[in-house]
């Protein structure tokens, strides 16, 4: 049974989703709050959910800092952030939500959730330790990849990038490819350098994934099969 805590300011939207979650046999709603206040964060720490779903207009620095503090107190907490406004997220906010090898996180626009099933799939994905980032929310436009950029990657780097695009953390990629996390980190740094990804690391990762997803090159499309 997946324990979920919901923070959502829109009462109608909250009621509809709460009702849907209660009918999902795999989920247990352990608490709701209208806003991400200190009181709400204290409530989360008391009931100890596995997943925190937060609906907010924008991910500003105050919200990102609050979520970072909560994650530091509860390292096993997976976080799903639903943004009402699909504006690019500031890089400083992204850096606050860095993921380790535990539960992951998602930052997506609310309009991207067409059905409750879509939301449940997102929740289950972050619980597995994966990262989901709506590329429309990246701080800057991601240029289309050039053949030279992608061709510069080694076969192993291409495999790492394809698995990165599925949302796996470095630890998860290492397990899939039977290599150490440090080796994965070395490959990711090489990928960032070759495709010109900007710092910090969390933004570079999202940038690399966006480049991968934008590519229609057959070589990279076929590499996705290894994550099936």
Q: State the Cα angle at 81 between 223 and 182, rounded to 5°.
A: 45
Determine contact, residues 164/208, Cβ cutoff 8 Å: yes
Determine contact, residues 21/27, Cβ cutoff 8 Å: yes
Q: Hey, do 2-137 and 147-227 end up sharing a CATH topology, with the first three levels equal?
A: no
pLDDT averaged over every residue in the chain: 77
DSSP 224: G
- Choose among 132, 100, 154, 152: nearest CA to 210: 132
Rounded to whole angstroms, the Cα distance separating 161 from 171 reads 14
For 145-190, what is each residue's pLDDT tens digit? Answer: 555 667 788 888 988 888 887 777 788 888 888 899 899 999 998 9
CATH number of 2-137: 3.40.50.2300
Domain ranges (residues) in the chain: 2-137, 147-227
CATH 2.40.50.140 fits domain 147-227: no
For 50-73, what is each residue's pLDDT tens digit? Answer: 999 998 888 888 888 889 888 888
The dihedral sign for the CA sequence 142, 195, 125, 4? negative
């Amino acid at each position: 049974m997946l324990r979920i805590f919901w923070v959502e300011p829109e009462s109608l939207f909250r009621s509809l989703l709460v009702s849907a979650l209660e009918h999902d046999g795999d989920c247990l709603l352990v608490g709701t709050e209208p806003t991400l206040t200190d009181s709400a964060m204290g409530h989360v720490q008391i009931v100890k959910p596995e997943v925190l779903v937060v609906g907010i207009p924008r991910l500003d620095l105050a919200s990102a800092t609050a979520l970072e503090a909560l994650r530091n107190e509860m390292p096993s907490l997976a976080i799903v952030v639903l943004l009402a406004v699909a504006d690019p997220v500031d890089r400083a906010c992204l850096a606050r939500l860095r993921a380790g090898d535990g539960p992951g996180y998602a930052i997506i626009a609310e309009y991207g959730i067409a059905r409750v099933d879509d939301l449940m799939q997102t929740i289950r994905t972050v619980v597995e330790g994966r990262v989901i980032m709506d590329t429309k929310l990246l701080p800057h436009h991601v240029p289309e990849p050039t053949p030279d950029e992608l061709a510069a990657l080694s076969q192993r780097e291409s495999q790492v990038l394809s698995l990165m695009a599925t949302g796996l953390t470095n630890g998860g990629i290492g397990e899939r490819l039977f290599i150490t996390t440090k080796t994965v980190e070395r490959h990711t740094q090489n990928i960032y350098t070759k495709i010109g990804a900007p710092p910090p690391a969390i933004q570079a990762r999202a940038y690399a994934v966006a480049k991968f997803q934008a590519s229609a090159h057959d070589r990279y499309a076929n590499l996705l099969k290894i994550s099936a």
